Structure 1
Amino acid sequence: MKGLSGQTAVVTGAGSGIGRSIALRLAIEGAIVVVTDMNVESAKETLSLLNVDEGQKHSVCSLDVTKKEGVLSSFADIHEEYGAIDILINNAGVSTMNRIEDLTEQEWDFNFDVNIKGIFLCTQAVYPYMKEQKKGRIINTASMAGKRGVPLLAHYAASKWAVIGFTKSAAIEMAPYNITVNCVCPGFVNTGMQSRELKWEAELRGMTPDEVREEYIRMTPLGRLEEAEDVARVVWFLASKDADFITGEALNITGGADLL
């Protein structure tokens, strides 16, 4: 019997990158996974990669985490279909990069709407179901940038600091109902989002993307870029029974980059 067998997990932003790896890992460990993303085609691609054992019936849900009515409706539909939502992975996230003097209000709002408002709305939507069943796991994707200042990413970092604050507060409030709330703080993750950031940072700093990438590796004591699977394995642990007594934590998964 796999550790997450019989449990239903909703993963936001699961069409690519970290979210896709989390969906794959949870499915391998026996969970029934609802793959959500704004990009339905990407979500369907993730779905096609999920293993199907022991009668798992994974599915896809088109979801814009910034729209409250759509979020409430989607979670109601998921709960009606599966009868429970045991695990919520709030992973949907965005980034842009700019100097503070050039940062636009649109960039600020875009990062905050997805990175923290989306987590709030999805958490609020799933809370009544977890509260009624008196158990649940909520795991949010924050960032190493949620614990330190990051040039060119002040707006993104601020949104991720907010994720950590929300996580710790929700953990206290939801603990009486046996709901744990934690977040993970990845470092320099080798994903499509990072590829875009490499180009942005290179342009802003007068470097090449390869030079920026090499700098990231030098800043990581374990000597390589982080892979999405590195994050997924920790998320799986937090979703498992082994993490029953862990809540309100912001776990660094950085290869030591947060130490420098």
Structure 2
Amino acid sequence: MSGIDGRKALVTGGASGIGLGIARRLRAGGAEVAVLDLPGDNLRDVRADGFSVVTADVRSRDEVAEAVAEACEILGGLDTLVLSAGVIHIKPLGEVTEEDWDLTLDVNLKGAFLVTQAAAPQLVASGRGRVVAISSDAGRCGVPLLHAYSASKAGLIGLAQALASELAPHVTVNCLCPVSTPETGMGQQVLAWKRKATGGSDRKVLDEISRIFPMARAGTSDDVAAAAEFLISDGAGFITGVALDVDGGAALNSLPGAAQ
């Protein structure tokens, strides 16, 4: 994939899940990658795997500014930013606390804003900046019990579109809207919720996904990483302000199972 080799990328939430999948794919394509995440076992594992790491709570302007500056020093600049830090809670409306709401909006949306704000001067100066934000299918259409998550991911699409207009032509800004990826930590939370709601096993839930998705399987972090790689590549240099569904056709008005 042209345009990946030699890139200098910072991936937030890159110590696990989709963020880690993207970090690995970019490194495999020849990019220099720094991972930003909270301190902990996952970050230690990522460091042991050879990634450069910086720590920050993305809700803190000061921590974010320090981490972005450190990443720029490590990488010798910055031309690529992947916004993958995120949290989720799954609760009925009456059980959602103000703390639940604030945490989700602050990490998923405010955090994306703060990191992009801190990184923007370097991205613009590179002359070939890329920002890829990980939204969700829940940002396209609100999901019951995911009030804050849906709102944060819809807001992320709006933020990306505003940034795309403002930072052009020096930086492209795009979103990915994946369905749940069951092999990730967040995906496991969603799978457990669906298992409880339906009374079925993991296998039954995944079989149902395969039945109703036109592509006949659940999504994976590799699917999302491949889409992110494209949007970061030179081949996507004329694409900005886009929210790309990575959903196996789940949003289509199709006849379930017809492709099998």
TM-score of the pair, normalised by structure 1: 0.90
User: Which residue does 1:98 correspond to in 2?
Assistant: 91
Who is 1:173 aligned against? Answer: 166
* Partner residue, 2:63: 70
Alignment of 1:210-221 (within 5 A): 210=202, 211-221=204-214
Q: Is the contact made by 2:35 and 2:53 (CA closer than 8 Å) also made in structure 1?
A: yes
Whether the aligned pair in 2 keeps the contact of 1:21 and 1:232 (CA below 8 Å) is yes
Query: In the TM superposition, what whole-angstrom CA distance separates every residue of 1:91-131 from its partner, at most 9, and x where no partner exists?
Result: 01111101122222111111101111110000000011122
Q: Tell me, yes or no, if structure 1 residue 34 matches structure 2 residue 37.
A: no
**What SS class does the counterpart of residue 19 from structure 2 fall into?**
helix
Q: Does structure 2 conserve the Cα–Cα contact (< 8 Å) formed by 1:40 and 1:61?
A: no
Is 1:7 the counterpart of 2:7? The answer is yes
* Counterpart for residue 230 of structure 2: 237
AA matched with 1:159: S
Deviation at 1:154, TM superposition (A): 1.8
- Give the SS at the match of 1:183: strand
Q: Which amino acid letter does the alignment assign opposite residue 181 of structure 2? A: V
Separation (CA, whole Å) in 2 of partners of 1:8 and 1:39: 22
Amino acid at match of 1:215: E
Point out where structure 1 has 5 or more consecutive residues left out of the alignment: 51-57
CA drift at 1:42: 1.0
Q: Distance in 1 between matches of 2:207 and 2:175?
A: 27
CA distance in 1, matches of 2:69, 2:227: 28
**In the alignment, is the contact (CA less than 8 A) between 2:214 and 2:248 conserved in 1?**
yes
Given that residues 2 and 234 in structure 2 are in contact (C-alpha distance below 8 angstroms), is that contact kept between their aligned partners in structure 1? no
SS of structure 1 residue aligned to 2:177: strand
- TM superposition score normalised by structure 2: 0.90
Contact 1:3 1:29 in 2 (8 A): no
Distance 2:125 2:174 in 1: 20
- State the alpha-carbon separation in 2 of the partners of residues 151 and 209 from structure 1: 21
Give the residue type in structure 1 aligned to 2:6.
Answer: G
Number of the residue aligned with 1:43: 43
Task: Give 2:144's aligned amino acid.
Answer: P
For residues 137-216 of structure 1, the aligned pairs below 5 Å read: 137-176=130-169, 178-190=170-182, 191-203=184-196, 205=197, 207-210=199-202, 211-216=204-209
Secondary structure of the equivalent of 1:107? Answer: helix
**What is the rounded CA distance, in whole Å, between the counterparts of 2:216 and 2:176 in structure 1?**
20
Share of identical aligned residues, percent? Answer: 41
Distance 1:112 1:219 in 2: 30
Distance across 2 between alignment mates of 1:206 and 1:251:
29
Q: How many residues align?
A: 251
The 5 A counterparts of 1:114-125 are 114-125=107-118
How far apart, CA to CA, are the structure 2 residues paired with 1:244 and 1:229? 22
The whole-number CA distance in structure 2 between the counterparts of 1:216 and 1:171 is 33
Q: Which amino acid aligns with 1:228?
A: S
Q: Kindly state the Cα deviation for residue 49 of structure 1 after the two structures are TM-superposed.
A: 4.1
The corresponding residue for 1:53 is none
Secondary structure of the structure 2 residue equivalent to 1:33 = strand
Q: CA deviation at 1:216?
A: 3.2
- Answer yes or no: is the 8 Å Cα contact 2:213–2:249 preserved in 1: yes
Q: What residue in structure 2 maps to residue 259 of structure 1?
A: 252
Q: Which residue of the other structure, out of 30, 47, 53, is the alignment partner of 1:60?
A: 53
* Aligned pairs for 1:76-87 within 5 A: 76-87=69-80
SS at match of 2:152: helix
Q: What is the deviation of 1:48?
A: 4.1
Cα root mean square deviation, aligned = 1.9
Q: Which moves more between the two structures, 229-238 or 97-106?
A: 97-106
| Alpha-carbon displacement from aligned partner over 1:44-66 (angstroms, at most 9, x marks no partner) | 3234446xxxxxxx411122111
Distance 1:259 1:141, change over 3 A: same
Q: Which runs of 5+ in 2 are unaligned?
A: 254-260
